[in-house]
Structure 1
Amino acid sequence: MARRHPVLRGLAIVVVVAAGLAALVVGLAVLRGEPLGERFSFGNTVAVVEVRGVISDAADTVEALDRLRQHDATVGVVLRVDSPGGAVAPSQEMYDAVWRLRARKPVVASLGNVAASGGYYVASAADVVVADPGTLTGSIGAIMEVHNVTSLAEKLGVSQTVVKSGRFKDVGQPLRPMTDEERVLLQRMVDDVLGQFVDAVARGRGMEAGRVRALADGRVYSGAQAREVGLVDELGGLADATRIVWARAGQAGEPRVTHVRMRSRPWWLDLLGAARLPDLGAPGGLLFLYRGPLPG
């Protein structure tokens, strides 16, 4: 039986160990949600960052956008938005992160099936907004839902005693009707947040605030309608958005793309195709959220 040359055996061991280390590094990068281009030099790339489902937290998205802002090989970013919106503060935090990124490199928002309310709020910070003709978008407005189960509680014989420090401490209490004074208080807050939404869109889109306010009655627009009223720049899909950001970054040829996976999303969901599943959860409180029907 022929014996292997010790040098060849040593080289084989080195190759196996190196391959294992490379696989480990790649695996850690994937688990951390980093585009592989951040660890391996593949030349200049466009990063695709997804904002998907109901917005309830901004931490992962903001971290990814801030990281890409500092990454030299990422010459531009496509923000792929498929979201009906959600909580106000996280939507604003994402908007601010897009704005910071936009100051360093081109950002193009690609609107998917639905990019409404808070989803559009985030997208409006991009340099260019691209939507499919049938995208549902717009829904510029704020909503606060307060449930009243007084009648049900009476039927069940349920009552509640509240000890509070001020007359507005239990505004929205579901076991009693809302007073007129409380309704006025909450409406003022909703109107104030609507004003913040209008100002953000006006800033991001370079539009007069009065023009945006005229569109801010909560209605949704198709992508084609949104283009007519100035909320969208171009009609097209993700590939079109990628080509636009590649060209705006001064790059020639076909775009090279890396996809950023959010850390909070388990990698095996993407393998199982669960990335297509809708996020049915919704945060409570004051929302930038579209509540209407979704296209099939």
Structure 2
Amino acid sequence: MNLSEILERRRLRRRVGWWRAAALVVAVLLVVALYKAYGGAEPGTMLARPHVAQLSVSGVVADDPVMLETIREIGEDPAAKALVVSLSTGGGTTFGGEALYKALRQVAERKPVVSEIRTQAASAGYMIALAGDRIFAGDTSITGSIGVIFLYPQAKELLDKIGVSVDAIKSAPMKAEPSPFNDASQEAQAMVRALVMDSYDWFVDLVAARRDMPRERALELADGRILTGRQAVEAGLVDEIGGRDEIMAYLAANGVSDSLEIRSWDNVNRDGFGVGLAKMGARLLESLGLGWFVSEDILRQTGLVDGLVSVGQTDWQ
């Protein structure tokens, strides 16, 4: 066999390899298309059988459009007969808690919603828990911390020590106040306090309404204190100590079959098929030398890879 024949065979082998890879990609896309066509094109249809939906709220509470959309889908999905919100969060932004609370109350207009305080549901986390028709907690779960705080840095003394000053021309005295470059004036402090107290009053009213207690009692509990699950039951902030068995018993008493499985919606992909299926396809393509097709950048854009998130807030609740 001469050199030209060897080179020709190599070229032919490469062409055949590429055609095989292309055929495999087409096959994978066809499977996904068929899955979406017959398994349901809307997000969450992988959970087509009747079930109790479960959604986890953990870490820092913030404005989360993806979770809000998932909550909306659970509310509209006839297969989800109830929703269990599992909470392990110490709080976050007041607006983030408010948005999740309101979204969950919309679901509660259609089906039972239960709040399950696991590790903790404090501050904005407790605000979210208030959306449940019934609140469960563990004996040693942490909750409470009802209140609002506004934090801002103060670097004036440090700048004075190193001989740096910052001047500003403002349209009005309260613009960009409080500033880290100068001590807050009494007017600025009063402005921030009014902002904090307005949100605080809203929170207290919410506690009083949702826990069916006098506002004076809610105000007494809203001093920033934290409580264990047992203390919270005694205080009227939590309904019952319990876990999944107690939750299912409550749902059964409210028209939801206790034979239904609790299924997590945490990892339902936005395209209507599970993360597991997508990742299996990714590994298959990588094994065939097509890893570029499912690079981390692409997966991150489709929501399949968790990324490092840095959050800086001044209105922690």
1:258 aligns with 2:263: yes
- Structure 1 residue 170, shift from structure 2 partner: 1.9
Q: What is residue 229 of structure 1 aligned with on the other side?
A: 235
1:52 partner SS: strand
Q: What is residue 76 of structure 1 aligned with on the other side?
A: 82
Q: Which amino acid aligns with 1:140?
A: I
Q: CA RMSD in A?
A: 3.1
Q: What is residue 192 of structure 1 aligned with on the other side?
A: 198
Q: Which amino acid aligns with 2:313?
A: G
Q: What is residue 21 of structure 1 aligned with on the other side?
A: 31
- Structure 1 residue 253, shift from structure 2 partner: 4.0
CA shift in 2, pair 1:181/1:94, >3 Å:
same
1:287 aligns with 2:316: yes
Q: What is residue 166 of structure 1 aligned with on the other side?
A: 172
Which residue, 109, 116, 133 being the options, matches 2:115? 109
- Unaligned residue ranges in structure 2 (runs of 5+): 1-26, 277-305
1:91 partner SS: helix
Equivalent pair of 1:82/1:112 in contact (CA under 8 Å) = yes
Q: Which amino acid aligns with 1:147?
A: P
Q: What is residue 95 of structure 2 aligned with on the other side?
A: 89
Looking at both structures, which has the greater relative contact order when contacts are Cα pairs under 8 Å and sequence separation is at least 6?
Answer: 1
Q: Which amino acid aligns with 1:220?
A: I
Which residue, 248, 265, 285 being the options, matches 1:243? 248
TM-score by length of 2: 0.73
Equivalent pair of 2:55/2:266 in contact (CA under 8 Å) = yes
Residue range with higher mean Cα deviation, 114-123 or 201-210: 201-210
Q: Which amino acid aligns with 1:247?
A: A
CA shift in 2, pair 1:22/1:146, >3 Å:
closer
Q: What is residue 274 of structure 1 aligned with on the other side?
A: none
CA shift in 2, pair 1:190/1:199, >3 Å:
same
Distance 2:228 2:194 in 1: 30
Which is higher, the Rg of structure 1 or of structure 2? 2
Q: What is residue 149 of structure 2 aligned with on the other side?
A: 143
Equivalent pair of 1:81/1:111 in contact (CA under 8 Å) = yes
- Structure 1 residue 257, shift from structure 2 partner: 1.7
Distance 2:265 2:42 in 1: 6
TM-score by length of 1: 0.77
1:54 partner SS: strand
The structure richer in helix per residue is 2
Per-residue CA shift, 1:124-179, capped at 9, x if unaligned?
11100000111110000000112211111112222111111110002121111111
- Structure 1 residue 284, shift from structure 2 partner: 1.5
Distance 1:167 1:115 in 2: 39
- Unaligned residue ranges in structure 1 (runs of 5+): 1-16, 269-276, 289-296
Q: Which amino acid aligns with 2:240?
A: E
Per-residue CA shift, 1:77-103, capped at 9, x if unaligned?
000111111111111011101111111
CA shift in 2, pair 1:33/1:192, >3 Å:
farther
Residue range with higher mean Cα deviation, 152-161 or 213-222: 152-161
Distance 2:163 2:60 in 1: 36
Per-residue CA shift, 1:46-82, capped at 9, x if unaligned?
0001111001223122211111111111110000111
Equivalent pair of 1:108/1:128 in contact (CA under 8 Å) = yes
Q: Which amino acid aligns with 2:31?
A: L
